[in-house]
Amino acid sequence: MLFGEIAYGPIHSRRLGSSLGVELMPLDHKLCTFNCVYCECGWNEPVSHPKLPTRAEVRAALEAKLSTFNFQHSTLDVITFSGNGEPTLHPDFLGIIEDTCALRDRYCPQAKVSVLSNSTQLGRPDVVQALRLCDNRILKLDAGTDEMMHRIDMPVNEHLTVAQIMEWLALFEGDFTLQTCFLRGEHAGQKIDNTTPEELEAWYQAVESLHPKQIMIYVIDRKTPEKQLEKIPREEMERIAAPLIAKGYDVIISA
């Protein structure tokens, strides 16, 4: 499932509401620092010179959508950066976010600017600066252990660790939404399960350390590139969330 426009929708997001999507990655293939087994966009494709939309093209496409949107008959809750890979990979990400905030203020000041990110580019000061301008920073951590994170997310950087991701996430001092997909299955002969007691304990410890203002946990909902994956039942997701809710965390369950 790839998004073929720079600005698309609005579409209904099960987690964010009425969402106008913005695509910063190539329109014809996925480009990401993760190769997640559950990604609806499929596997990464090796491309020597991927074509990214320019900052000017993104601004023009977004303004065309916002200037023609009929706000009298429908509402727009969010402008969301996600799509065919990792949006923060774009070299002009900061400038694009600055443009987006200005256009939002002009056309739909009630809408939130949201970014769904896999957290791998938080070592770049410009990305951190851009995310601080956004209303919703939705940042991924799919496991509390290195082994399970690598099995689920298959990072392009084979040396990436959970500790490094947490160090970057800590830069926001809890002012972000932590996003985690829970799943079970198998890939390349290896068991995938971030719902075991050991994995959950490691993840709970990460949550307690980061203390995010919101936690968003969800399950696979569309076709996945790895077919041997299992959707976690809602009852189990509620059990996973319960200890955190009991401690006062704001937990959103999408299942």
User: Which ranges of 69-212 would DSSP assign to H, the alpha helix?
Assistant: 93-107, 125-133, 146-153, 162-169, 197-210
Domain ranges of the chain: 7-254
Q: Which residues pair with 185 in a beta bridge?
A: 192, 229
- What is the chain's pLDDT, residue by residue, as a tens digit (255 residues)? 556 689 988 887 766 788 999 999 988 888 999 999 999 988 988 777 788 999 999 999 999 999 987 766 678 999 999 888 899 999 999 999 999 999 999 999 999 999 999 999 999 999 999 999 999 999 999 999 999 999 999 999 999 999 999 999 999 999 999 999 999 999 999 999 999 999 999 999 999 999 999 999 999 988 999 999 999 999 999 999 999 999 999 999 998
Please state, in angstroms and as integers, the Cα–Cα distance from residue 94 to each residue in 90, 131, 224, 236, following that order: 9, 8, 31, 39
Q: 7-254: which CATH topology?
A: TIM Barrel (3.20.20)
Burial label, 66 (beta-carbon count in 10 A; 0-12, 13-18, 19+): buried
Distance in angstroms (rounded) separating the CA atoms of residues 115 and 83: 10
